[in-house]
Amino acid sequence: FPSHDRFGCDMSESGQYMVVVSSVWSRKARFSNDYGETWVEANGYDNLVSVELNETGDYGIIGGYRRILKIGDNVVSSVFYDSTSNSFTDVAISKNGQYMLAVGSGGTSIIKVSRDYGLTWSSYGSGGEWFGCDMSESGQYMVLNVLLVMLVS
């Protein structure tokens, strides 16, 4: 792979599962489930920015232009589209994958939270520019741009 212009990458704790999002490939994602020996591209999805896998690699989330991709075992399992946002610039996931968080910029409801492994999403916020997020292993606490903003239970 070229060694420049990557937008995001992550791997499972064991190193078996890996995901890379790169501008070299038109901001597309590539997956590996064999410690990086082989790679598969997520065809049909571009303009992606950020990625995070849960501890085991069973669940993952990718943020991109007006969409959030839920991933698992080298495939995109579902896509959440949001026409009110510009781009989801950062994502986070709990240790077991149940809680997912995506933040973005240039929209009206640009904080998205899922409490059910990415099946449904709730919207928060009323605009602004959110460039960073993270959550605790349990998913109970979330932080956005160094401000503790919500308790999810």
Residues 101-121: tens digit of each pLDDT? 999 876 666 789 999 999 999
> How, if at all, do strands 28-32 and 40-41 pair?
antiparallel
Q: Which residue has the tokens 């991109």?
A: 64
Residue 153 CA to residue 138 CA, distance in Å, equals: 10
Report residue 149 as tokens.
């903003």
Residue 101 CA to residue 136 CA, distance in Å, equals: 11
Reported as a single tens digit per residue, the pLDDT across 43-72 is 889 889 899 999 999 999 999 999 999 998
Q: Is 25 in a helix, a strand, or coil?
A: helix
Output the CA angle 91-96-98, nearest 5 degrees.
Answer: 65
Q: What is the pTM of this model?
A: 0.86
